[in-house]
Amino acid sequence: MPLIEVTDLRKCYGTRVAVDGVSFTVERGEIFGILGTNGAGKTTTVECLQGLRAADGGTMSVLGLDPATDRTALTRRVGVQLQESQLPPKLRVREALELFASFYPEPADLDVLLGQLDLRDHARSFFGKLSGGQKQRVSIALALVGRPELAILDELTTGLDPHARRETWRLVEGVRATGVTVLLVTHFMDEAERLCDRVAIFDAGRVVATGTPAELRAAAGASTLDDAFVSLTRSAR
Amino acid sequence: MNTFAKITATETKLFLRSPLMAVVGILLPSALLLGIGAIPGMTEPSEAAGGYRFIDAWVPSLIVVTLAALALQSIPGAVATYREQGVLRRLATTPAHPANLLGAQLLIHVVVALAGIGLVLGLADAVYDVPMPKHPLVFLLTLVLGVVSMFALGLVTASIARTAKSAGGLAMISFVPIMFFGGVYLPRPLLPEVLRRIGDYVPPGSQALQDAWVGTGVQPLQLVVLAGFAVAGTALAVRLFRWE
């Protein structure tokens, strides 16, 4: 059984259709990418999967649970990194981790986690004093502190410099190596090509293509995922 | 440690790391009391104040200042900041319900408000010989209703403000009338009759506090209206609340 199964998901905001019949599956142990331009419905889809938003139609199963009715059970098994979510600037890194660890039945070892995310030297730093890359690593650490089976990472590297981005990619690969399934929301093609086993390309609230990066390149007759993306999303317009 | 205790401990640390609101809430009303007391005539009995000293009439107004700063300004700012930063939404993705964060903020602010009020009352007694409440139990009941009704009003602002900036603006809608009717800008005995009558029913009930204090007996209707503000404010806040 797939770890995530989404069938014909629909979500409207008033008269605007944000997600229009989206279907895809994610297998255990995969890094699965949700790709699309801004406003393609990526974040809305992921928010429905977390139970943060009620869908208007379709069915969803995450870890065998229905996000709409089993949200609380789901929060214990899914780690989340939200787009543009901050922490109080005067909270120290270790305090943030301790706080979030206290929410979960079997949290990760904080020293190990700090080491994995290269945050040991910053454990006593205020969140507000960290660089963009360091903040992002804290955000990933918080997503992993509850030992999730699934990590949902939204716009992971937006705003990071090339070094920090590569470092973050290495981390995501490390996360998957520990057996965590990763759902990665991004609009960076190089990121998806480097990290994802399979991707779904979103355009205007629909999935226009699903497959491995290589399959999508071949299908579009393109030499890069970037070109494939442009041609796939253009043909759908 | 359970989730609420852990969140409250963390929030208390954060509150003390940016101590401005704690200082304002606890020390400002007492500083005002000492400032007013230093003005000649304030500590003498006055005809205009019905034979009382102005300093006596000011003590309930200083309770208004404390509660207005903490309930109407500080809490909405704190909650709106968390909403703006996505902290509430982030928390909603964990097993900890974000209501824990609201509860922690309320608890901290109520404790600070009570500390500030306690200090004002203590100073008023020690320095100006303002007699302690004649009906302590009625005074306490009135104070509890006053505190709850004020925080309920603050939560309405906290529920609808999307950003810290808009919380500051929205807060003024309740802050200015509450301060005015509470006799902070002009001592209540000097307000025109009709405004003073309206003010009798405005949270946190400075007239009822005054009456319980000097022992003239509290009008039950004033307490009922305070309770009404508390219930209606809380219900409205719950209805309007948005995590993002």
Chain B CB within 8 Å of residue A13 CB: no
Q: Give the mean pLDDT of A167-184.
A: 91
Chain B CB within 8 Å of residue A124 CB: no
Quick check: B6 and A99 CB within 8 A? Answer: yes
The complex scores an ipTM of 0.87
A49: confidence class by pLDDT, cuts 50, 70, 90: very high
Among B22-26, B115-119, B228-232, whose mean pLDDT is lowest?
B22-26
Share of chain B above pLDDT 90, in %: 38
A45: confidence class by pLDDT, cuts 50, 70, 90: very high
Q: Phi, psi (5° rounding) for residue A58?
A: 95, 175
Q: What is the pLDDT of residue A124?
A: 96
Q: Give the mean pLDDT of B199-212.
A: 85
Chain B CB within 8 Å of residue A95 CB: yes
Asked if A167 contacts A191 with a C-beta cutoff of 8 angstroms, the reply is no
Chain B CB within 8 Å of residue A84 CB: yes
Chain B CB within 8 Å of residue A90 CB: yes
Contacts of A54 (CB under 8 A, 6+ apart): A48, A68
Label residue A133 left, alpha or beta by phi (over 0 means left) and psi (-120 to 50 means alpha): alpha
Is the model's pTM score more than 0.80?
Answer: yes
Quick check: A95 and B94 CB within 8 A? Answer: no
pLDDT at residue A235 is higher than 60: no
Quick check: B89 and A85 CB within 8 A? Answer: yes
A161: confidence class by pLDDT, cuts 50, 70, 90: confident
Quick check: A82 and B92 CB within 8 A? Answer: no
Asked if A217 contacts A229 with a C-beta cutoff of 8 angstroms, the reply is no
CA–CA gap between residue A112 and residue A110 (Å, rounded): 5
Q: Give the mean pLDDT of A173-193.
A: 91
Tokens of A126: 């205020």
Amino acid at A113: L
Q: What would the pLDDT profile of A7-37 be if each residue is shown by its tens digit?
A: 999 999 988 999 999 999 999 999 999 998 8
Amino acid at A193: E
| More confident call, B49 vs A17 | A17
Q: Give the mean pLDDT of A149-172.
A: 87
pLDDT at residue A142 is higher than 90: yes
Q: What is the pLDDT of residue B105?
A: 93
Q: What would the pLDDT profile of A94-122 be if each residue is shown by its tens digit?
A: 999 999 999 999 999 999 999 988 899 99
List the single best residue of B93, B97, B101, B105 to mutate versus A (max A Cβ within 10 A): B93
Quick check: A91 and B10 CB within 8 A? Answer: yes
Q: How many CB atoms lie within 10 A of CB A230?
A: 14
Q: What is the pLDDT of residue A107?
A: 94
Q: What is the pLDDT of residue B48?
A: 66
Q: How far A96 CA lies from chain B's nearest CA (Å)?
A: 9
| More confident call, B134 vs B221 | B221
Tokens of A27: 């297998």
